[in-house]
Structure 1
Amino acid sequence: MSRKKRDIPVFDQPLIETHCHLDYLKERPLEETLAATRGVNIERVITIAVSPANLATVRELSQQKPWLYGTQGIHPHDAESYTDPCEDEIRSHGGDDKIVAIGEIGLDYFYDNADRTVQREVFRRQLQVAADLDRPVVIHSREADEDTIEILSEFEGSLKRRGVIHSFTSGPGLARYALDQGWCLGFNGITTFNKAENVRDIVRMAPIGQILLETDSPFLTPVPYRGRENAPFYLPFVAEKIAEVKALPLESVLSHTYRNSLRTFFPAG
């Protein structure tokens, strides 16, 4: 089923990297990273926008290879930098061919880098952009489960295409709400961390038909490479861990998560 290449498994079935930050990678040249990523049979990569400063950068990266894609959106850390011109830029490019979602948007009450009232307002504004453009959403939620549910519930009727709550580390309440509403949950290297049993519990409860694979690189490098910069080519370790935690054949996890990614971000196939 797989062969070893630099101790990273290479599967016969392709994978889709649904969440990384290519413009944040520093350890090696981008071309080398992209070559290594293709070398482990990752078919498509989505690089994620987070701030007004990298909206254009993500668009430029998405044009470098046919299999690179991007998003447009402002992370809650930068909510106080969200302006009308910034929203205009997201609206103008949110429907571009190589832009597949609005994100990364949401709430972060762990770091509180932006005022919570501002975070909620900006979250709502960007969900409205996604609804208007009929785009899926990439959501960040940390220590903000109740407010995330409240705000998402306001858009149940208008946001036809859901998306993903990425790097899911929240509680079962948000997980159940999201799953019941048709959202996917994104899991990454955290699933391999020794002390992340709470995340593995959510993996167990989530239907395989609503799980997406991601790395969130350069952050959250999976075991056995913790301590090094994360990269998309470590995604196979996440797939293996999901299969182990859910006690499913690896082939099933690969086929389901691939179809889930297509359905969420590439509905045309």
Structure 2
Amino acid sequence: MSKKKRDIPVFEHPLIETHCHLDYLKDQPLEDILTETQRVNIERVITIAVSPDNLARVRELTQAAPWIFGTQGIHPHDAEQYTDDVEAEIRQHSRDDKIVAVGEIGLDYYYDNADRAVQREVFRRQLQLACEADLPVVIHSRDADDDTIDILREFESSLTRRGVIHSFTSGPGLARYALDQGWCLGFNGIATFNKADNVRDIIRMTPIGQILLETDAPFLTPVPYRGRENAPFYIPFVAEKVAEVKGLDVTEVVQQTYRNSRRTFHRLG
């Protein structure tokens, strides 16, 4: 018989879930997930677009509750599906009140699901779109640190709202560049994994004023619930781990990351 899992902590100060995929959650009805998310005092949730197939679904989900927000963008895995029509759809809905960022965009050389040259072109096009919309961006970068830095350098003066490099697992070089340029780094359940010392090292070097909390649900479920589908309501465990790694009181982490989230995603209100 497995051990009873520890109850999810509930903090007095609210949390903001800055990165999940509500349309991918399958193990529980969405209504139940949202109820539990509110029970543990998560005040706002950002659900992330990744492909032409879910742009509209993300927009629909933002209408499910006043506290659900979304993004519009194409993940590097689907860069080869990026067309002028897709770009026009993202541009049109970047004006929507409930759309808080362009994302999830970037480069992924680990899986190489799309040609790398195409990934770079699509990354640039979406960064330019974010500049035009005056929106922050949500960036995915895996095994592509140098090219991510080189492309971001092209937009240093025109991208007035930075955003976040989410699920940060890259090296200290990309971390230092991003932090120096005013980006936030997003951390999730990976920080709780036994072998993730590299991620905890980045958390230690990241100022608390530039950390965002996320789950990336349904992926990357934190300890002690690994093996289950992830969900936004597990984000308190990420807050606890960040506090432990940085030697801070968890209340300070919760309060500061809340402020960071609202500063980064200005449409959250």
The verdict on a shared fold, with TM-score over 0.5 as the criterion, is: yes
Conserved 8 A contact 2:71-2:103: yes
Task: Write the deviation string for residues 60-93 of structure 1: whole angstroms up to 9, x where unpaired.
Answer: 0001100000000000000000000000000000
For residues 112 and 230 of structure 2, what CA distance do their matches in structure 1 show? 24
Conserved 8 A contact 2:213-2:235: yes
- Amino acid aligned to 2:23: D
1:251 offset after TM fit, Å?
A: 1.0
For residues 81 and 12 of structure 2, what CA distance do their matches in structure 1 show? 44
1:267 offset after TM fit, Å?
A: 5.8
Tell me the residue number matched to 1:188.
188
Q: In the alignment, is residue 209 of structure 1 matched against residue 209 of structure 2?
A: yes
For residues 42 and 210 of structure 1, what CA distance do their matches in structure 2 show? 19
- Amino acid aligned to 1:252: E
For residues 268 and 262 of structure 2, what CA distance do their matches in structure 1 show? 8
For residues 254 and 95 of structure 1, what CA distance do their matches in structure 2 show? 30
Conserved 8 A contact 2:47-2:70: yes
Task: Write the deviation string for residues 28-74 of structure 1: whole angstroms up to 9, x where unpaired.
Answer: 00000000000000000000000000000000000110000000000
1:95 offset after TM fit, Å?
A: 1.7
Tell me the residue number matched to 1:150.
150
- Amino acid aligned to 2:45: V
Tell me the residue number matched to 2:230.
230
Q: Over aligned residues, Cα RMSD in angstroms? A: 1.0
Q: In the alignment, is residue 84 of structure 1 matched against residue 80 of structure 2?
A: no
- Amino acid aligned to 1:220: L
Tell me the residue number matched to 2:239.
239
Tell me the residue number matched to 1:26.
26
Conserved 8 A contact 2:189-2:238: yes
1:13 offset after TM fit, Å?
A: 0.5
After TM superposition, the structure 1 = structure 2 runs for residues 75-114 of structure 1, keeping only pairs within 5 Å, are 75-114=75-114
Tell me the residue number matched to 1:123.
123
- Amino acid aligned to 1:219: F
Q: In the alignment, is residue 49 of structure 1 matched against residue 49 of structure 2?
A: yes
TM-score scaled to structure 1, two decimals?
0.97
Structure 1 spans left out of the alignment, 5+ residues = none
For residues 82 and 237 of structure 2, what CA distance do their matches in structure 1 show? 36
For residues 25 and 51 of structure 1, what CA distance do their matches in structure 2 show? 16
SS of alignment partner, residue 90 of structure 1: helix
1:266 offset after TM fit, Å?
A: 2.5
- Amino acid aligned to 1:45: V
Tell me the residue number matched to 2:258.
258
- Amino acid aligned to 2:138: V
For residues 78 and 267 of structure 1, what CA distance do their matches in structure 2 show? 26
Structure 1 stretches (4+) deviating beyond 6 angstroms?
Answer: none
Conserved 8 A contact 2:100-2:267: no
For residues 250 and 66 of structure 2, what CA distance do their matches in structure 1 show? 27
For residues 15 and 165 of structure 1, what CA distance do their matches in structure 2 show? 19
Structure 2 spans left out of the alignment, 5+ residues = none
For residues 186 and 95 of structure 2, what CA distance do their matches in structure 1 show? 23
Tell me the residue number matched to 2:168.
168
SS of alignment partner, residue 43 of structure 1: strand
Tell me the residue number matched to 1:61.
61
- Amino acid aligned to 2:72: Q
Share of identical aligned residues, percent? 78
Task: Write the deviation string for residues 186-237 of structure 1: whole angstroms up to 9, x where unpaired.
Answer: 0000000000000000000000000000000000000000010000000000
- Amino acid aligned to 1:117: A
For residues 61 and 266 of structure 2, what CA distance do their matches in structure 1 show? 18
- Amino acid aligned to 1:170: S
TM-score scaled to structure 2, two decimals?
0.97
